[in-house]
Amino acid sequence: MNTARSLRRSRRDRVIAGVVGGLADYFGLDPTLARVIYVLVSIFSAAFPGILVYILLWILIPQGD
């Protein structure tokens, strides 16, 4: 039995491109909670450029089915 999951951008739980929704699905988190965590980490961490990372993930992570 193959239980391997692949990281994909979400078509269902998307606000902009589905990046955080896909990450939430991959890690088994609530999409809203994942978005709140992503925004808070982006705001409070000067070493984490949230917008740049989001754009790179948008380019690198394939669209889900």
What integer is the mean pLDDT of 15-19? 87
Number of H helices, E strands in the chain: 3, 0
Tell me the pLDDT tens digit for each residue of 20-31: 999 999 999 999
H-type alpha helices, 1-65? 19-27, 31-44, 50-60
Average pLDDT of the chain to the nearest whole number: 86
pLDDT at 2 over 60: no
pLDDT at 14 over 90: no
Q: What is the pLDDT of residue 35?
A: 92
